[in-house]
Amino acid sequence: MNLPHDDKTCGWYAALPPPQPARRLSGSQRADYAVIGAGFAGLAAARRLAEHEPDARIVLVDAQRVGEGASGRNSGFVIDLPHKFALENPDAQFKQRLLRLNRTAIAQLQSLVDEHGIACQWSHAGKYQGAVGERGLAYLAHFEKLMAALGEPFHAVEGRELAKVLGTTHYSRAVFTSGCYLMQPAALVRGLARSLPENVELLENSAIQRVERDGLGGYVLHGADGQIHTPRLLLGTSIFTREFGYLHNRLLPVMTFASWTAPLNAAQCKRYSGTFDWGLTPADHAGTTVRMTQDRRIIIRNTYKHVPKYGRSVDDSTRESIRAEHRKAFLARFPDLADVPFTHTWGGVYAISRNFTNFFGQLEDGVFASACDNGVGAAWGTISGTLLADRAVGATSSLLDDIHAVTGMPSLNPPEPFLGIGVRTRIRLAAWNSRAEV
């Protein structure tokens, strides 16, 4: 079984104080519900189960510490709009359902941040979608047409107005949409974990290595030092869902990488001509994501790798090469900040499907899963985990109708070695075509 094997150089996680000692799985335990995966989906599922059944015992178990996995490694966007590929869907109702789901997730996270005082740089900052050259501008024009058809407000920003925000003249044009929130992802998920209801027990550094039926209609989750017996199992495991034998030939593991700088000092802040606390995604999806954080760090994210063995597929030399490419992208945008060093470079694994379809629902009797976020995990994980708990307890709602309408079965992948060759070729081709936008 391939377990999570993330690098230990995630800047978001390193910026936090050390966590309290972890509770680990040991001995034989029983739970009314077990949830595997303490990312956005698993945390939301466990919280919702506890709300539905306050007398039930709910065990949430993760192979790592909360915030060390994919949920704490993203770029810190919580996006309300349908993602790039979903936005292409010709069904207007499909896109409206996604908007409702994403905005419900944002409202839910906002409420939890406020209620529990979660310090995670939470900010209603909106989002810029930026273009550098002709290819990016063509994508941006197409995005504007899709937004107009969707009936969502946006406005174009260019020239001096754009440079005053971003502190760089690198971008020709951008489109601003106001519904996106920014945050510190590792801080957010750690705060969500600390504020779980009392009938949820969180077990960390406790990899589940095998799940089997118990012969009584339930399941036994086997870890290195203990087992969990439960009649109902919820999987918030994204790409790792396939390690438990589900959706095995339908999910593709992809890793994307980010680097960030040390916080800008006073002299560097004087040289920097932009604002603080903004985020930009590329109009061309293979381009570069850039963020300026509230604590004055600049993040550069680009480069995609097919990682069939997750973190074990990437070695130190690959990370160093990626870091060098990130440095080029940084200097192209901020040449006046050449003295600002990078302090961390990290990767994060997520699941995509060939037909860009998310899975949500029941896998077999007593087993439910939300898998394959296709790269938009914060909002999708939050709402899909919440609604998965509703599904598991038999609740009904219009939001459940929405999520069933926009999800389905990820398509089958071709066998290896054809799959790996095809994915790597497609990633290389996208990188070549988008090189001016990187």
pLDDT tens per residue, range 274-292? 999 999 999 998 899 999 9
Confidence tier at 251 by pLDDT (50, 70, 90): very high
Per-residue pLDDT tens over the stretch 103-148? 999 999 999 999 999 999 999 999 999 999 999 999 999 999 999 9
pLDDT of residue 175: 98
pLDDT of residue 76: 97
pLDDT mean over 253-270: 96
* Residue 346 included in any domain: yes
Over 70: is that where the pLDDT of 102 sits? yes
Over 80: is that where the pLDDT of 375 sits? no
Q: How many residues does the chain have?
A: 438
Q: How far is CA 203 from CA 73, 177, 208, 369, in A?
A: 20, 39, 11, 19
Confidence tier at 374 by pLDDT (50, 70, 90): low
Full domain range(s) for residue 308: 124-183+252-354
Q: How far is CA 176 from CA 31, 280, 303, in A?
A: 46, 9, 24
* Residue 325 included in any domain: yes
* Residue 130 included in any domain: yes
* Residue 279 included in any domain: yes
Over 90: is that where the pLDDT of 243 sits? yes
Over 80: is that where the pLDDT of 418 sits? no
* Residue 400 included in any domain: no
SS3 195: coil
Each residue of 387-411: b (16+ CB within 10 Å) or e? bbbbbbeeeeeebbebbeebbeebe
Per-residue pLDDT tens over the stretch 63-76? 999 999 999 999 99
Residues 6+ apart with CB under 8 A from 39: 62, 69, 70, 71, 189, 236, 238, 377, 381
Over 90: is that where the pLDDT of 263 sits? yes
> Which of 158, 182, 180 is CA-nearest to residue 170?
158
* Residue 369 included in any domain: no
Residue 17 CA to residue 3 CA, distance in Å, equals 25
pLDDT of residue 267: 97
User: ∠ CA(193), CA(366), CA(379), 5° rounding?
Assistant: 40
Task: Tell how strand 208-213 and strand 298-306 pair up.
Answer: unpaired
* Phi and psi torsions of 408, nearest 5°: -175, -155
In the chain, the number of structural domains is 1
Helices marked H in 232-315 — which ranges?
266-271
pLDDT of residue 12: 98
Over 90: is that where the pLDDT of 44 sits? yes
* Burial of residue 159, with CB atoms counted within 10 A of its CB: 0-12 exposed, 13-18 middle, 19 or more buried: exposed
Over 80: is that where the pLDDT of 417 sits? no
Is it true that the peptide bond before 282 is cis, omega within 30 degrees of 0? Answer: no
Q: How far is CA 167 from CA 180, 277, 333, 382, in A?
A: 20, 12, 9, 33
Residues 6+ apart with CB under 8 A from 151: none
Q: How far is CA 257 from CA 67, 192, 228, 298, 344, in A?
A: 16, 24, 34, 14, 11
Over 90: is that where the pLDDT of 398 sits? yes
Residue 369 CA to residue 242 CA, distance in Å, equals 11
Specify the higher pLDDT residue, 248 or 144. 144
Residue 278's identity, in one-letter code, is: W
Per-residue pLDDT tens over the stretch 139-179? 999 999 999 999 999 999 999 999 999 999 999 999 999 99
* Residue 31 included in any domain: no
Q: How far is CA 80 from CA 106, 178, 376, 377, 381, in A?
A: 7, 9, 10, 12, 13
Instruction: Provide the CATH number for the domain around residue 274.
Output: 3.30.9.10
pLDDT mean over 44-54: 98
Q: Round the average pLDDT of the chain to a whole number and report it.
A: 95
The pair of structure tokens assigned to 419 is 């799959």
* Residue 342 included in any domain: yes
